[in-house]
Amino acid sequence: MFERYLSRGLFFRLAILMSFALLPLGLIALYQTYTVVDEAARLSRVAILARTERAAIGERELLQRSQGAANTLASIGWTLMRERGACADVMRGFVSDHPEYGFAGLTDADGNLICASDNTGKDVSEEAFFIKASNKGAPVFSVDRSLADRERLQLSLTYPIRDGDAVVGFATLGIPKSLTSVFFTEKWQLEGIKFATIDADGDILSSSDVFPQAGLLLPASIERDKLLGYSGQTFFAQSTAGNDRFFAISEVIPGQVAVVGSWPADISDLASGPGRWLLTLAFPVLMWIAGIGVAVFGLHQLVIRHLSDLRTAMRRYALGEREHAQLQLINPPREFSEAQQSFNRMVMILSNAESRREIDLQEKTVLLREVHHRVKNNLQLIASIMNMQARGTKSEEVRGVLSQLQRRVRGLAAIHRSLNTNPDSTAVDSRELIETLVGEARLQSGAAAEIRTEVQPVPLDQDTAVNLSMLLAEALSNAIKFASLCPEGQRTVDVQFFLLDDDRCHLVIRNSRTAGAGDDAADTAGSAGLGARLMKAFASQLGGEQNIRTTETTFTYDIVFSLDTP
């Protein structure tokens, strides 16, 4: 629907025409911009790779020095291993003279620590550095627990000690893990750039992140042991943590160690990815927007703004605004000036007709309110006359009949009072009606019973309200009359009215009765006399279903009826 509406508009059609007119120029601009942006992207990738290499300079120097030191120890290792006393002194002296190392030691081919700066004689055959070196028989890097302090991690560099072609042991240097992490300074972290160094097996040797989480910054689409083969390359990929990142890989020690730089995607958009294409399209799109803008501005000034004012005036008038309904266009063309005059003439004619209709409606409302007022007063006058007759008679039977008639008349008066109070509504509020009838019942009964109500407000039409009020008056009179002491020691009457669903109402009247009183009182309250016959008639008028339930302590009358009953 919206697409169809948009395609039929003037703006859309004009944009199509201007797009065809500007297409040749746009293609030329697109090619030229792509060439410039492609070269800028290449330079950006080179710069990112260079920054990655520069970030690992400190660690590269440390690892290269460590390689030289380990190679030196391995070259004299076979000699030192045969002189264990002097060997231990050499290892301790080496660590003392080179504080960047936390451990130095020589291990035989079986994993026994022949001599070391600490823990001489320890079996290291289960340590990661020894297992890795034994399997490869070549210099290896690994990260494991420090032999000097098991609570800390260390970066181990292990070189094989050879006697001819046979490997007879290994020389190991331990670099504290905390030392390798300082090369990736806080400056990089503030920019959101992360680094990790890996060996040929894909094992992480150092990282700018906390070590257990270091693996999350590596690309998920490339196996770790193959990352070294991507040295010198840059690419977009998703990290193991699930974030889109830009990766740059550079060798630290050829064939052995590489550094992986993980850059935020937004920082490196120029190097690759959507940012590059956005720049390519930027100039042609701006040129197209400028051409469209000139045409649209002219169309808006001559046509669209006048149509918009006319549409706004029509909508405001349709929504009921009459004070400023006249249309005033600013410097319109002749065609729109004629349309403005026609619209203003139509508004004037309709407004006059509407004013006459409102006057007629007000007169009818006043008359209807006066009718309800007079009917209410007449009914109250009749009730007052009945009250006077009841006081003047000595017959209890006559007084009772007059009292019942008076109650019924007052019920009708309550409906007309509600309609008179709300002359704009043809509906009667159930809560107001029921509370009024209950209030009159309280006045008439005095302290005969405590009447409690729980009423949900429901709008009732006049016919339903009349039948409900008459039914409630009769049922309430019976409930008060036949209420007896409950186990709590008082007479109670409960009146409940609520909606069961969208169009059905439920009226419940419950009075207390003395346990063991028998069924005579229940029969009298539920089915005897004129009141019971009237209740049955009113229930029939409501189209409802009556139900009477009796327990040891309560007598309940309820009816369910529909609001849509004709």
Dihedrals phi, psi of 411, to nearest 5 degrees: -65, -40
CATH of 54-264, one of 1.10.3720.10, 2.130.10.10, 3.30.565.10, 3.30.450.20: 3.30.450.20
pLDDT higher than 70, residue 259: yes
Separation of alpha carbons 555 and 549, rounded Å: 6
pLDDT band at 29 (very low <50, low <70, confident <90, very high): confident
Weakest mean pLDDT among 44-58, 194-208, 275-289, 466-480: 275-289
Weakest mean pLDDT among 304-308, 387-391, 540-544: 387-391
Weakest mean pLDDT among 200-209, 239-248, 402-411: 402-411
> What's residue 92's pLDDT?
85
> What's residue 524's pLDDT?
43
Q: Who contacts 261 (Cβ-Cβ below 8 Å, separation ≥6)?
A: 48, 51, 52, 55, 193, 194, 195, 247, 248, 249, 250
CB distance 284 to 29 below 8 Å: yes
Q: What is the DSSP letter of 226?
A: G
- Mean pLDDT (the chain) is 78
Q: Other CB atoms closer than 10 Å to residue 452's CB: what's the count?
A: 12
Residue 23 amino acid letter: L
Domain locations in the chain as residue ranges: 54-264, 348-425, 432-566
Percent of the chain scoring above 70 in pLDDT: 83
CB distance 510 to 540 below 8 Å: no
Separation of alpha carbons 521 and 483, rounded Å: 9
The tokens describing 514, both together, are 């003395």
The 10s digit of each residue's pLDDT in 111-120 is 888 888 876 6
> What's residue 39's pLDDT?
74
CATH placement of domain 432-566: 3.30.565.10
pLDDT higher than 60, residue 228: yes
Dihedrals phi, psi of 162, to nearest 5 degrees: -115, 145
The 10s digit of each residue's pLDDT in 34-61 is 777 777 777 777 888 888 777 777 778 8
> What's residue 509's pLDDT?
94
Whether 432-566 and 54-264 are alike in CATH topology: the answer is: no
CB distance 77 to 140 below 8 Å: no
> What's residue 420's pLDDT?
62
CB distance 563 to 505 below 8 Å: yes
First CA to last CA distance, the chain: 42
Distances (CA, A) of 516 to 91, 335, 482, 552: 106, 93, 15, 6
Separation of alpha carbons 500 and 495, rounded Å: 16
The helix/strand/coil state of 214 is helix
> What's residue 318's pLDDT?
79
> What's residue 559's pLDDT?
93
Distances (CA, A) of 417 to 412, 434, 544: 9, 13, 26
> What residues form DSSP beta bridges with 453?
495
Separation of alpha carbons 357 and 16, rounded Å: 50
The 10s digit of each residue's pLDDT in 145-200 is 766 566 677 788 888 988 888 888 898 888 876 555 555 555 666 677 888 888 88
> What's residue 532's pLDDT?
79
